[in-house]
Structure formats: structure tokens, C-alpha cells
Amino acid sequence: MGSGGGGGGGMSDLFEQMFGMGGGGRGRQRERKSEDVVHKLQVSLEDLYKGGTKKLSMSRQLPCDACQGSGSKSGKRYECQACQGTGVQVHLRPLGPGMMQQIQSPCSHCNRTGYSTPPGDQCTSCKGKCLVADKKTFDVHIDAGMKHGSKIVLRGEAGCSEPGLAPGDIILVVVQKEHDVFQRAGVDLVMEKTISLTEALTGCTFTFKHLDGRVLRVVIPQGEVIKPNSFKCLHDEGMPFHGRPYQKGNMYVRFNVEFPETLTEAQAKAIRAALPVPGAAANGTMDVDDVEDVHKITNVADIESELKSRVNVAKGAGESYESDDDDDMPRGQRVQCAQQ
């Protein structure tokens, strides 16, 4: 066929330039590849901080060395006669007069490979299957600063899912294990530290073991008050940047202040002397003659659970007190009266 309009190869030349195809639009056939194997790799936060090596054993199938993957002693590949080398068998099922349904199923004679070696020429090592079982232990390198969900690819190490296919890849997905002390937030670390009320008011010193084994000492100077749930930052003590291990994030320390359950009279007196109680006007005490004492006050362990459990407490009672007159009142008037 000639090209239309002017010189050149027309569409065939265009496809060759775009996709590297030659020979009238027929490109190089891509090598058929076995399926990849995806595996979750459990990694400790210490290994993600320092980097390291983990051993991983994998079972796989490889082409038989004895017959070079042919499945035969002679090295010849025999096309399966049951499926004519397609790996698929076609069956016809009648649906009615003059109607047939075509059903495809994997060939049971060649196990979908398209090849079936006669018993007399079968390789003694693989029994004509072309593949043999293999187990290999890999040394998997963990880079410092890798994140949860990072992928490590071992090219061509997954073995062959069927004869005639190139080996697939092993794709390892990093799964970060939970840590007893530290939580990770990107390149930063967060830890909690519980201190006593005395330490919160007068300063404290504490030590902890970092992910690389170093023991760090933190000093809160005397006179600096630490409030409950407050944070302090230790600069450059967080996780290393992936690819730049000498650059690190920050570490944040969240302080929990542990209050005493009770105080003795002597302790309370000493605290009042050291920390004078504010005057009546400052702490919200009203100077009035008619004051009613509250005789019942209880502790609330979990305010969120407490409020959730009381969401529907007043609904039934509130509905029973609504009168017909209230129903006749315009909604806008009702709101206005409530605000007066």
C-alpha cells in the first residue's frame, strides 16, 4: 500500500517515531512477565531510625536447570495437543434448538502453559513441568528515614508463575511496628512524659533512651512551671530524612502532670503559705448574704462518655411539659421571649 499525499511512510512512520515500532507498524514484542509478589515487611522504629538489614526467606518456582526450562530430556518443547498450544480449552454447551454457548476453561492437560511433554521424553528433574521449587533468603536493606508504606523492589526475584514467562518482582511494603515510647509524625517524634506536681512546679530532670541507643538527659530549670498537656521541643532529635540521614526532624515531649489524690492538713497549709490563695474577687467568690451550700459534688472520670450518655436524658421530660398554647405560639416569638 502506498502512502497518501507527499512522501514519507505515512502512519507507519508516525507510529515508529512515537513508539519505536518498525516493519510496517509491528513493534518489538514485550517480554511476558510472571506476576509480582507483594509482601508486607514488619520493621521496627529503631530500624527505620538507624537503617539496617532484615533477612527474608521466600519460596518460588524457577526454570529447571537440567532441561533449561523445556521440560524434556531432548530440549524440545512439545505443543499441547489438547489445547493446540493456547493453554485454554473451548467447550460448547447447547442452550436450545440451534443455540450453543462457548465456554473457555484452563487446559487441564498442560496446566494452562500450552506445552505438554510426552512421558518418554520428560525431564527427570522437573517431571516435564519445566519449573522446580526453590527457596532463597534475601538480605533486605532498610534505609534510614524510610516511612510506613515505602516500597522495596527486588527485581526478578519472585520466580516464575508459569513456564515461558520472565520472573516477576518481589515488592516489599514497609509496615512500621508500634513503639512503646515514641510515636512518629512524618520526620518528627512525639513522646509522653509523666511528672509529679512537685516537679511541674519546681523543675525536674529526667533521662530516656533514644532509638539509636543514646541516653539523653533533659533538664527543666527550677522556677519554670510545666502545665498539664504542654509540649516542649528537642530540636534535631526526630527521624532522619530519607536520603539525607544527617538531617533530622524534631522530638516533641508532651507532659502529663500527676496530681496527688489527697493532701494532709500540713501539706495544704504549706502550699497555702508558698502559694497564697487569690482574694475573693479574684477567684469568683461573691460577697452576698444569701448563699446556698452545694452538698453534692462528684468526680467525672470521662467527660466525653458522661455527656454522650446524657444526650437523651431530658428529651422525654421536655416533651411532656410542652402545652398546646406553646404549639400555637410562633417560633420567632418563643425565641424572643427566651432571650429577654
Kindly report the three-state secondary structure assignment for every residue of the chain: CCCCCCCCCCHHHHHHHHHCCECCCECCCCCCECCCEEEEEEECHHHHHHCEEEEEEEEEEEECCCCCCCCECCCCCCECCCCCCCCEEEEEEEEECCEEEEEEEECCCCCCCCECCCHHHECCCCCCCCEEEEEEEEEEEECCCCCCCCEEEEEEEEECCCCCCECEEEEEEEEECCCCCEEEECCEEEEEEEEEHHHHHHCEEEEEECCCCCEEEEEECCCCCCCCCCEEEECCCCCEECCEEEEECCEEEEEEEECCCCCCHHHHHHHHHHCCCCCCCCCCCCCCCCCCCCCCCCCCCCHHHHHHHCCCCCHHHHHHCCCHHHHHCCHHHHHHHHHC
Window from 18-22, 37-41, 185-189, 227-231 with minimum mean pLDDT: 18-22
CB of 140 closer than 8 Å to CB of 54:
yes
Mean pLDDT of the residues in the chain:
80
Q: How far is CA 180 from CA 45, 46, 177, 197, in A?
A: 10, 11, 10, 24
Q: 48: pLDDT confidence band, cut at 50, 70 and 90?
A: very high
Locus of grid cell 498537656: 229
Q: How far is it, in rounded angstroms, from Cα 118 to Cα 111?
A: 14
pLDDT at residue 94 greater than cutoff 70: yes
CB of 317 closer than 8 Å to CB of 311:
no
CA quadruple 195, 199, 200, 203: dihedral sign: negative
Provide the pLDDT for residue 57.
93
Locus of grid cell 533514644: 210
**Burial level of 58, CB count in 10 A (0-12/13-18/19+)?**
middle
What's the pLDDT tens digit per position in 252-298?
999 999 999 899 999 989 988 888 776 654 555 556 667 676 666 66
CB of 36 closer than 8 Å to CB of 136:
no
Provide the pLDDT for residue 73.
81
Q: How wide is the angle at C-alpha 124 spanned by C-alphas 60 and 77, nearest 5°?
A: 80
pTM beyond 0.85: the answer is no
Provide the pLDDT for residue 192.
95
Window from 66-80, 88-102, 124-138 with minimum mean pLDDT: 88-102
Provide the pLDDT for residue 210.
95
Query: At residue 223, what are phi and psi to the nearest 5 degrees?
Result: 100, -15
Between 13 and 59, the more confident residue is 59
Provide the pLDDT for residue 5.
43
**C-alpha cell, 122:** 520428560
What's the pLDDT tens digit per position in 216-262?
999 998 988 999 999 999 999 999 999 998 999 999 999 999 999 89
Instruction: Give the range with max mean pLDDT: 29-33, 108-112, 234-238.
Output: 234-238
Residues 6+ apart with CB under 8 A from 101: 92, 93, 94, 95
Window from 98-102, 187-191, 214-218 with minimum mean pLDDT: 98-102
Segment 67-90 mean pLDDT: 80
Q: 124: pLDDT confidence band, cut at 50, 70 and 90?
A: confident
Percent of the chain with pLDDT over 70: 76
pLDDT at residue 22 greater than cutoff 50: no
**C-alpha cell, 317:** 421530660
pLDDT at residue 112 greater than cutoff 60: yes
Segment 101-112 mean pLDDT: 78
CB of 32 closer than 8 Å to CB of 127:
no
Q: 55: pLDDT confidence band, cut at 50, 70 and 90?
A: very high
What's the pLDDT tens digit per position in 301-324?
777 887 787 777 666 555 555 555
Q: Which domains does the chain have, with CATH numbers?
A: 37-78+117-176 (2.60.260.20), 182-258 (2.60.260.20)
